[in-house]
Chain A
Amino acid sequence: MIKITNLEKIYRTEEVETVALNKLSLEVKEGEFVAVMGPSGCGKSTLLNILGLLDDPDAGSFVFNGIEVAKFNERKRADLRKHNIGFVFQSFNLIDELTVFENVELPLIYTGVKSSDRKKRVEEVLDKVQIMHRRNHYPQQLSGGQQQRVAVARAVVNNPKLILADEPTGNLDSSNGNEVMQMLTDLNEQGTTIVMVTHSEHDSRYSHRIIRMLDGQTVLENIMV
């Protein structure tokens, strides 16, 4: 599903040049659950942003579902993203002015799903993450765990092929964290590919494969048995 080859990303300021990704190559197969680990500043998040088509690489190739996307413009990237990729963030990133229902509905609006279908699909997914009873609440009225469940619901409502999770349990206590990890595992079992950035060895054990990064390169791959 994902094949990146010699990917480079360099951040430049007036005085400093930081190499975030240094000729990185890796492959993720459809249905895989991959955890990316490494110390702060090793390029994990940069990698995730490029995989999520939020950022573009400076050099190298990125093939997504057989299509070279490294040189895609903003419109094409947005289009590919909204149909294929779901995101889960550490800080949930829900819109405060929208209710739980409306937050989950948003990706469907951007993909142009009809209003009646939207309602059905949002309700289904809210039911799945067991937050249906809070559908009319605003994010501030929910606990962290509940907010992250809403975020997961939002990530999956479009049935994406790929979910990118950036430290999804970083802001949660262990029980809520485990719940979220279980949800991701369930999704993976239903066929969704997952790439997760994490600092947590515990969380990484839910994955099939751990990629360890250092200074913008992969240094080790552990296959979980």
Chain B
Amino acid sequence: MIKNYFKVTFRNLWKKKTYSFLNIFGLAVGIACAALIFLWVENELNFNHYFSNRDNLYIVKDQQTYDGTTFTFDATPGPLAQGIKAEIPGIKNTARCTWGDQLLFSIGDKNIYDQGNYVDAPFLSMFQLQFIAGNASTAFGQLNSLVVNETMAKKFFGTTDVLGKTLKVNNRQDYIITGVIKDLPKNVSFRFSWLAPFKIYEENKAWLKEWGNNGIITYVETEPKANITAINKKLHGYIQTKSEEAIAKMSIYPMNRWRLWNNFDTNGNEKEGNLKHVNLFSLIAWIILIIACINFMNLATARSEQRAREVGVRKVLGAVKRKLIGQFIAEALFMSLLATLCALVIITLTLPAFNSLVEKQLSLNIFQPSHISALLIITILCGLIAGSYPAFYLSSFNPVWVLKGLKLKSGSAGVIRKGLVILQFSVSVILIISTIIIYRQIQHVKNRDLGYNKQGLIYTYLNGNMKNNFPVIKNDLIQTGIVQNACLSTNRVLELGSNTGDFQWEGKDPNKQVLITIVGVSPEYISTMGMQLVQGRDFNKDIKSDSNNIIINETLARMLGKSDVVGSLVTRNNGMEKYTIVGVIKNFIYNSMYSPAAPLIMYSDTSGANVLSVRFTQNADIKTALAKTESIIKKDNPGYPVEFSFVDAEFNQLFKTESLIGKLAGVFATLAIFISCLGLFGLSAYLAEKRTKEIGIRKVLGASASGLAGLLSKDFIRLVIISCVIAFPISWWIMHNWLQGFEYHIRISWWIFLMAGLMACVIALITVSFQAIKTAVVNPVESLRAE
């Protein structure tokens, strides 16, 4: 019996090649697309799974509430790690870790910057890093030891056999390599090439001993069966037992949630993070599969008349409905299997492009149980979804009617077919509208006036004697004529990481803390950035003369509640430190590009400076400007390679997630409409074929080819218009909600809907008019003879 089914299926496929191609290719594209998305989803769900001990690993979160708003940070005080390990039961290990440091490593004539972290020794065993050479227990046995990954070892020495070798760090100290670890995969939360003992970092940093100063990350490993609620209960008020004034409330946050959650609202409650995207894209994957399955259903029912006789004969010969349903479902499963095989080819061909789009290293391995079983499930589901309706429809034919060659009643099938086309196009239109809106939102934020000029602005991190030599460097740079100005600051302008809540001013409720961002700058900062003073003056060239003066932003000025704040005093440290406001700058956007500027204070102070920013002249040739800047910095700060970053490029990087969503939505919208059009093409071909006689008669009676093409296309266009009517409010609702997640967002304009609707209509028209024109221009004698 199965052999008989297989034969009929195969011969049917072979006989109707266009139909088979449309069906299998459409389904293959759908399956390939879904499989790619599922690979991405798998990668996201398996994030940090490299760490087998992940169920017991945590990061310490720090929540601070100012005026009813809770901010959640990863920053913790230096003494915390040691304190909680000793005092809170259930905590097995703790490790301090820096935010990430870029150090210059040198050996011979090789001078290369590499990113890494200073960590406590338990870090190596807590995360069970896999040592190729050395081991976790001895690696940090001496102070200046260094654990490097495979790539870094090979970069400097061409081999991983490097134990005992030394690398000079920042042209000052020699670090001895005491361990080589395997490279971490891409889907983990860490990005480091080297790890060095935290003790090195700790030297001369008094703030690391303060309980009120949150400046480093603390990781925790718990006992396997530890009571996490009890640990968190103890941690909550733990800091306050050490320092009464501290307002930070600590808790541990599991590694298993770092990737997909790790988002906190202003009440301090956990929210979905990346999980939102994982869910969204999984949904899209299923939708695309269903769109592809719909093609199958529609084409199968549309050409049902051609299968009707077979159904009739089989019934007469004793086949019961159940057997016929089985036959048609088996046929659909076979097609779905063929589609999956084609999809494998499509996936292999498109995976590199998809990887570069999503910036991952995804790979499909059909020998991997999870992959092969996922493919099988998709194949079976597609076969069942696509095959079930045609199977029930075809098997319900009355043999008496079909064998007599009587016209089949297409009533329910016709309505369902139209409904399915409407569903396909509604989804396509929703995706088109969403793509346009996401794209416009990203552009809207990218074009936002940041309050300074990000073009022609570069920065580099300070090293060697750059800070001391700054006046010389600046002078030399300006002398080139290509550089307009240069300045120093504690942070890069896009991300100002220091803040404090202990400022007071006249009229402020002393019990209410306001979180204020602070940044130390050199006097050239405002002019170099292209920021605008709205009150008062800029800092004096002589830094010392402004040591007790500050410049604030408009947000803070408004909080002061006076129209003219220049000359007002703000105090810090219980009134011990007094600062006079000498100027107010126009708000500029930092940290979150979607939010308004948070209150900010600028000091004229370069003692903590880490960043040198350089502004090129307006018409400077970037290549020449970079080359000249590099040679000057090298000359004035020898022994250090110079690495620049462009502020506008880094700015664009901030929209990585949104850009990815935008790009993927675009790709999915294109695919959805492509698959829908494949179905529409097939459907229009069959319906045109069915109306051959009608067309012939109409032509004989004087209808024009264009009129007939219009007649044949009209019904489909009507369906697309209905799809638009359904899709518009749904997409408005979805995108309206999406935009609410951004404080700075676009308004949804009516023309987006018009454009998406027109696009869908035009694409559908092109698809169906091909068949319509083909049928309409046939000689009526031919079409009537065919009858």
A52-B316, A93-B403 are contacts. A109–B309 as well, Cβ < 8 Å? no
Stretch in B1-9, B18-26, B491-499 touching the partner: B1-9
- The reply to whether B318 and A79 contact each other, CB–CB distance below 8 Å, is yes
- The reply to whether A97 and B8 contact each other, CB–CB distance below 8 Å, is yes
How distant is A84 from chain B, measured CB to nearest CB, in Å?
Answer: 10
- CB of A94 within 8 Å of the partner chain: yes
Provide the bound-state CA to CA distance between A105 and B318, in Å.
13
- The reply to whether A110 and B399 contact each other, CB–CB distance below 8 Å, is no
> Which A residues lie within 8 Å of B345 (CB)?
none
Provide the bound-state CA to CA distance between A130 and B405, in Å.
28
- The reply to whether B11 and A97 contact each other, CB–CB distance below 8 Å, is yes
The contact size tier of chain A is 20 to 34
Provide the bound-state CA to CA distance between A206 and B312, in Å.
28
- The reply to whether A78 and B313 contact each other, CB–CB distance below 8 Å, is no
> Which A residues lie within 8 Å of B544 (CB)?
none
Provide the bound-state CA to CA distance between A111 and B318, in Å.
8
Contact of B404 among A45, A74, A96 (CB under 8 A): A45
How distant is B330 from chain A, measured CB to nearest CB, in Å?
Answer: 14
Binary per-residue interface labels of chain B (319-333) against chain A in the complex, 1 for a CB within 8 Å, 0 otherwise: 111010000000000
Binary per-residue interface labels of chain B (294-311) against chain A in the complex, 1 for a CB within 8 Å, 0 otherwise: 000000000000000110
- The reply to whether A82 and B11 contact each other, CB–CB distance below 8 Å, is no
How distant is A99 from chain B, measured CB to nearest CB, in Å?
Answer: 9
A45-B404, A98-B8 are contacts. A93–B312 as well, Cβ < 8 Å? yes
Provide the bound-state CA to CA distance between A93 and B309, in Å.
7
Among A52, A82, A95, A96, max chain B CB count under 10 A is at A95
Provide the bound-state CA to CA distance between A78 and B321, in Å.
10
- CB of A54 within 8 Å of the partner chain: yes
> Which A residues lie within 8 Å of B173 (CB)?
none
Provide the bound-state CA to CA distance between A107 and B313, in Å.
10
- The reply to whether A110 and B7 contact each other, CB–CB distance below 8 Å, is no
> Which A residues lie within 8 Å of B315 (CB)?
54, 78
Residue of B nearest to A48 (CB): B400
- The reply to whether B400 and A82 contact each other, CB–CB distance below 8 Å, is no
A91-B405, A94-B313 are contacts. A54–B318 as well, Cβ < 8 Å? no
- CB of A62 within 8 Å of the partner chain: no
- CB of A2 within 8 Å of the partner chain: no
- CB of A22 within 8 Å of the partner chain: no
- The reply to whether B319 and A78 contact each other, CB–CB distance below 8 Å, is yes
- The reply to whether A97 and B12 contact each other, CB–CB distance below 8 Å, is yes
- The reply to whether B405 and A95 contact each other, CB–CB distance below 8 Å, is no
- The reply to whether A97 and B1 contact each other, CB–CB distance below 8 Å, is no
Among B11, B313, B314, B403, max chain A CB count under 10 A is at B313
A45-B404, A55-B400, A102-B4 are contacts. A95–B310 as well, Cβ < 8 Å? yes
Within 8 A of B (CB), among A68-107: 74-75, 78-79, 81-83, 87, 89, 91, 93-98, 102, 105-107
- The reply to whether A54 and B8 contact each other, CB–CB distance below 8 Å, is no
Contact of A109 among B4, B312, B399 (CB under 8 A): B4
- CB of A49 within 8 Å of the partner chain: yes
> Which B residues lie within 8 Å of A106 (CB)?
4, 313-314, 317
Binary per-residue interface labels of chain B (392-407) against chain A in the complex, 1 for a CB within 8 Å, 0 otherwise: 0000000110011100
A93-B313, A95-B310 are contacts. A110–B319 as well, Cβ < 8 Å? yes
Provide the bound-state CA to CA distance between A225 and B572, in Å.
128
Contact of B309 among A95, A110, A111 (CB under 8 A): A95
Provide the bound-state CA to CA distance between A111 and B319, in Å.
9
How distant is B51 from chain A, measured CB to nearest CB, in Å?
Answer: 57
Interface residues, chain B, with chain A CB atoms under 8 Å away:
1, 4, 7-8, 11-12, 15, 309-310, 312-321, 323, 399-400, 403-405
Not counting A54-B315, A81-B318, A93-B309, a sample of 18 additional A-B residue pairs whose C-beta atoms are within 8 angstroms of each other reads: A45-B400, A45-B404, A52-B316, A55-B400, A75-B320, A78-B318, A82-B318, A87-B317, A89-B403, A93-B312, A93-B313, A93-B403, A95-B8, A95-B313, A96-B310, A98-B8, A102-B7, A110-B323
